[in-house]
Every structure is written in structure tokens, then in C-alpha cells.
Amino acid sequence: MAARSNKHLAGDATNVNYTDSLKDIRPEPDAIIVGAGFGGLYALHRLKQIGLSVEGFEAGAGVGGTWYWNRYPGARCDIESMQYSYSFSDKLQQEWKWQEKYAPQAEILRYIEHVAERFDLLKLIQFNTRIVSASFDDNLERWIVTTDRGESKSARYLILATGPLSTANTPAIRGLDRFSGRIFHTGAWPHEPVDFIGRSVGVIGTGSSGIQIIPELAQVAKDLIVFQRTPNFSIPSRNGPLTPARERMFKERYKVFREEIKRLPSGIFFETTGKSTEEVSPEERQSGFEEAWAKGGVGFVRTFTDIILNPEANTSASDFIRAKIAEIVENPTVASALQPKTYPLGAKRICVDTGYYETFNKSNVSLIDVSKTPITHITSKAVSTVDADYPLDDIVFATGFDALTGAILAIDIKGSAGRSLKDKWKEGPSTYLGLMAAGFPNMFMVAGPGSPSILGNVVVSIEQHVDWISACLEYMHNHDVDVIDAKPDAEAQWDAHVNEVAQSSLFQQADSWYLGSNIPGKPRKFLAYAGGYGVYRDKCAEIASSGYEGFIFRKSPVLAASN
């Protein structure tokens, strides 16, 4: 789409009379975009492309979001890089050369930095700046944000691209502040290299992050103590260099392929048998699982079409993984502790690893099952459970995130009539399509609660969200309206639908960050839309083409005067 300049969309430089240090001589932007990860960068690019003036704010010193903060050893994406990447520029996807099938953090960060430079986005972003509050001024009909530097800025539109997994969660274990060793969190890893050689290291948490860092630390630490509360299902990644044949396969049909994945439930393309477990003999079922295990990756769960839907199929897939764990891990007690037994495969996020189960055969690695012997406190030198003290030099928290709502609610957001978002969401988030919250006009979320984002390929979701938002802003311009809000009843209906779909899913069968149950006091509510990305995408498109059913538009005399 050609960039355009016009009075309504571009250069909405209202000379507003709000308080504070508006020392900045730049005019007020049309849109403020919070976050410079995959979502924020694409929002900056896309909105700039439709002729809006945009300004980004990012707490980090550089772009990358998740891939900026999660620099821990072993961090990599478990969706193939040929898929976990932007599709909006064919030139970009043809020219960028991924090195590995599953790119490590550093490679993904290089890619994001390349995108920011290539599309000239860096100059639009104020780094090292956290947005601490955002209020919709009903008189000015603009969002006014304040930063942790004490600055203010206003814009007609506020886009929250704050990341669904960006607020690191460190459990409040008694005595943590007295620990005299080093403390790390996988989600906020230091930028400089950290040396663990010859040290006693404890890792708390065995989700995707723990499962990635544990094999790395085991190679260098003197002792590695893994504190596991709930075991996860993990599939070997079988990562390696991206083969020229696989790269060619994607690049030759990238356009078609990217179109195809728009219809898929997770926005990820998997090679599957296309058959259900009921259509094959027990021998074929077993060989199907063996083949998928040998191939590696999260696609294991798609080996047969009914693994997620049919409890019997799910049990056979779960049994297969449990048997693999028993085969790999030499100590039967440790193997048993590592086998998930209390929930079905897929109820918690499936992990992908490089040598995770094998790590427990190393003589310097111990597994402490804290579901049986809970951590009670931390002393200056040790993590203590009900029955022992584990002296440590370093503690690594791989304890996850305050998912989806954490980063949004870390900003003191006040909508129309001063209504606080925290208050609105005190029983859990409710949104319309995961894109807007009623009462918060002209505020959009990218990969927000109530959208499918975190249940699949989040880059695919991000592109769809940002494209939808930019098309909506163009629609507003073409229809000469200034303000959009979600209708409360449309939001309530979407919320009910999100809950209904979640109730019938596997996700209810295990405690996880999907339900907010990892954060003490967080309302237990399924945070994403589990109806599938393809279905969701169609729904969003249908709503847009019906004239944005469920949204309310109005013309603003104040904004109109400033056009």
C-alpha cells in the first residue's frame, strides 16, 4: 500500500495543553506504540506505511522484546525460523538466511535488529524508556502517556505491543533477599557472558526455559540441582543447520505457504500423517510416534489428528513419551519423577529440548522433586526444602512470566471517565477479539488476552493483529470518524465465547500460566482464544467486512478541529 499523507491520518500535531515537561520539540504523534519486539516493530512499520506519524517506546536499550531479554544459555525458538519470521516483505524473507532449523536467541535478535534497520524504524523509538501510565483524556480525546523519565506524550491512538510473556515472575520465596550468591532469571538475563564453571548452581523451574538452560548449565557447573515442581512433556528438537533443501522448499513457495498457514489452528505448518489414531493399526501408531520422535519438534503432537481431541489417542502419545523418558534416564526414580502423570499431553505448553532427559544421567546433576518436598525458604547460602538444604553459589529462576496481562497492567491505564484497566480486569481480562477493551477508546492490543497469539506462532498472530488495526484506522479515515471503542455487549459475548472454548479444551486439566495460576492472586481465567488461529482470523475479517460489528465509532469535534 502506498504511503499517503493527509490531514486526518498524518501529522495530527494537536497543540494540547496538558501538564508536564513537554520539552521535546517533536510534534505529538498520531500513534504511540509501546514495545519494540516483533509486535511493536511491525506496528511502527505498518502505521507509518499508511501515513500516520508514530513514536515507539521501549524499556530495553535495543529492539527485540522477548529475544532482547531472554539471553540465557540455550534460549532458542521451538518453531522453525522459516516460519517464525515476518511475512510482510517477500524481499526480506527471501534475502534473510537462517543458519539453524530452530534459531538461537542471538540469531533471532540479529534478524529483528536487521528488520528495524532495513525498514528505518530505529529513529522512531525512544529506548531505555518505560511507559508507566496511560490515560485517555476525554476532553482532548487523546491518550496521554508518561514515562519513567518523567516525560509525557500524547497521541490519538495507543498501541500496546508489550508482549504476552515479558513480565518475569520471581516467586516470593522467604529469605531470597538474604541469599549471598548470584541470582538470575531466564527472562531478564544479563547481557554480558555469565561464567558458571566450577560453581554449584540451582535451577528452579522446568518449563520451556528451564528445559533449555538445564542441559547448558550441566556442561559447566560443578553441581547442578534442578528443583522441579511439575514435570513437562518435552520432545527432542533434533535441531541442526538449516539444510539448503529445506530452505529452498520454503523460499520457492513462500507466498503460497504463508497463505496456507493463515487457515491453520496454530499458524504453524506441520508435516503430519493426516490420519487419526483410530485409522491406523497399533503397530502403525507406534511407528508413527517413533518417526515423529526421531524427526523431533513440537509437531510430535500433530502426528495423528486426534491427539489433542481424543483422550485415548492422547494417552497413547503420553505413554509413548513416558516410555522414552524411562528409556533415556538411567535412574528409575529420577525417570519416574520426570514423567508427567497428572495431566494430558498438551494441557501445558509442550517443551522442545536438546538433550534434556539425557542431562539427568550426568553425575553432577540432581533432580529434587519439590512437589514432594517443597521449597520452604532460602538462606544466605542455600535453597532449603522441607527435608534438606542445598548449598548453592547461584540460583537461576526459570519460573516464567505474568503472562498476557502482566505487562499491560504494569502500566497504570485509565480509559474514558478515568476507569482503570486494572479495576476492569480484576476478575481476569475481558477484551473484544483480544484487540480492544470496552471503555478504552482508540487503544489497541497486539497479541493481547482473548486472542490466540500465545497458542501458536505468535509472529503470525502479530502480523494479523497489526494488519487488522491498520485496516481499521484506514476505515476510520475513509468514513470520517475519529474514535473507536468496543461495545460492552460485544466484548461480553467474545469473553463468553473465549471461556466456553477454553472450558472444552485440554488446557483446563493442568495448572499453568495459560490460566494465570502461576501468579499468586491472579484470577484463574484462561487467557487466550483456543478456537484456533484460522477460525479467529476469519472472525476478525468477517467483523471488519461487516463494517466492524461490535465496535462503535464516533466523530470527535475536538479531533476534527485539529485535523
Of the candidate residues 64, 202, 210, 346, the single one contacting ligand NAP (CB under 6 A): 210
The binder of ligand NAP chosen from 299, 400, 429, 449 (CB under 6 A): 400
> From the list 162, 314, 399, 556, which residue makes contact with ligand NAP (rule: CB under 6 A)?
399
Least Cβ distance, residue 257 to ligand NAP (angstroms): 21
Q: Does 513 bind ligand NAP (CB under 6 A)?
A: yes
Q: Which residue is nearest to ligand NAP (CB)?
A: 207
Q: Give dist(CA 396, CA 210) in Å, integer.
A: 9
Position among 209, 314, 431, 464 found at the interface with ligand NAP (CB under 6 A): 209
Min dist CB 399 to ligand NAP, Å, is 4
Question: Residue 401 or 432: which CB sits closer to ligand NAP?
Answer: 401
Closest-CA residue to 50 (of 447, 553, 472): 472
Nearer to ligand NAP, 395 or 483 (CB): 395
Least distance from C-beta 554 to ligand NAP, angstroms? 38
Question: Considering beta carbons, is residue 131 or 510 the nearer one to ligand NAP?
Answer: 510
Find all residues with CB under 8 Å of 130, minimum gap 6, and list them: 57, 59, 147, 148
Nearer to ligand NAP (CB atom), residue 67 or residue 157: 67
Report which residue type is found at 200.
S
The count of residues interacting with ligand NAP (CB under 6 A) is 26
Minimum CB distance to ligand NAP smaller for 98 or for 227? 227
Q: Are strands 131-137 and 142-147 parallel, antiparallel or unpaired?
A: antiparallel
Length of the chain (residues): 563
CA 537 to CA 517: how far, in whole Å?
Answer: 28
Q: Minimum distance from CB of 415 to ligand NAP (Å)?
A: 29
230 binds ligand NAP (CB under 6 A): yes
| Window of 208-216, 325-333, 356-364, 480-488 that interacts with ligand NAP by CB under 6 A | 208-216
> Which residue in 518, 522, 529, 536 binds ligand NAP (CB under 6 A)?
518
Of residues 43, 398, 484, 498, which one binds ligand NAP by CB under 6 A? 398
Query: Measured between alpha carbons, how far is residue 38 from residues 90, 264, 473 in Å?
Result: 17, 21, 20
Give the Å distances, CA to CA, from 316 to 291, 307, 310, 313, 482: 15, 8, 10, 5, 55
Alpha helices by DSSP H, 453-526: 458-478, 488-503
Q: Of 63, 109, 165, 365, which one interacts with ligand NAP (CB under 6 A)?
A: 165
* Sign of CA pseudo-dihedral 425, 540, 516, 170: negative
SS in 3 state form for 83-137?
A: CCCCCCCHHHHHHCCCCECCCEHHHHHHHHHHHHHHCCCHHHEECCCCEEEEEEE
Residue with cell 527432542: 236
For residues 254 and 259, give the distance between their C-alpha atoms in angstroms, rounded to a whole number.
8
Work out how close the CB of 505 gets to ligand NAP at its nearest, in angstroms, rounded to a whole number. 16
Residues 388, 394, 395: CA angle, nearest 5 degrees = 65
Contact string 350-389 vs ligand NAP (x = CB under 6 A): --x-----------------x----x--------------
Q: Is 78 a residue that touches ligand NAP (CB under 6 A)?
A: yes
CA distances in angstroms from 83 to 266, 269, 456, 462, listed in the order given:
12, 8, 11, 13
For 272, other C-beta atoms within 10 Å of its C-beta total 15
> Could you tell me the smallest distance in angstroms from the CB atom of residue 205 to ligand NAP?
3
Site string for ligand NAP, 315-354 (x = CB under 6 A): ----------------------------------x--x--
Among positions 11, 171, 265, 488, the unique one binding ligand NAP when judged by CB under 6 A: 171
Would you count residue 527 as binding ligand NAP (CB under 6 A)?
no
Residues 6+ apart with CB under 8 A from 210: 186, 203, 204, 226, 398
CA count, 13 A, side-chain hemisphere, 377: 6
Other Cβ atoms less than 10 A from the Cβ of 62: the count is 18
- Does 395 engage in binding with ligand NAP (CB under 6 A)? no
Spatial distance between the Cα atoms of 182 and 190, rounded to a whole number of angstroms: 12
Residue 515 binds ligand NAP, judged by CB under 6 A: no
Among 48, 156, 229, 465, binds ligand NAP (CB under 6 A): 229
Alpha-carbon gap, residue 411 to 148, rounded angstroms: 11
Asked if 204 interacts with ligand NAP (CB under 6 A), we say yes
H or E element at residue 390 = strand 389-391
Minimal distance in Å, beta carbon 254 to ligand NAP? 22
Q: Within 33-72, which residues bind ligand NAP (CB under 6 A)?
A: none
Q: Which is nearer to ligand NAP, 170 or 310 (CB)?
A: 170
Binding segment (CB under 6 A) for ligand NAP, from list 7-15, 320-328, 380-388, 392-400: 392-400
Binding of ligand NAP by 226 (CB under 6 A): no
Describe the crossing of helices 311-328 and 282-295 by its angle, rounded to 10 degrees: 60
Stretch that binds ligand NAP, among 121-129, 226-234, 467-475, 496-504 (CB under 6 A): 226-234
The residue from 205, 429, 441, 452 that contacts ligand NAP (CB under 6 A) is 205
Question: Which letter, b or e, does each residue of 469-480 get, where b requires 16 or more Cβ atoms within 10 Å of its Cβ?
Answer: bbbbbbbbbeee
Q: Which residue lies nearer to ligand NAP by CB, 142 or 229?
A: 229
Binding-site ranges for ligand NAP (CB under 6 A): 77-78, 165, 171, 186, 204-210, 212, 227, 229-230, 349, 352, 370, 375, 398-401, 513, 518
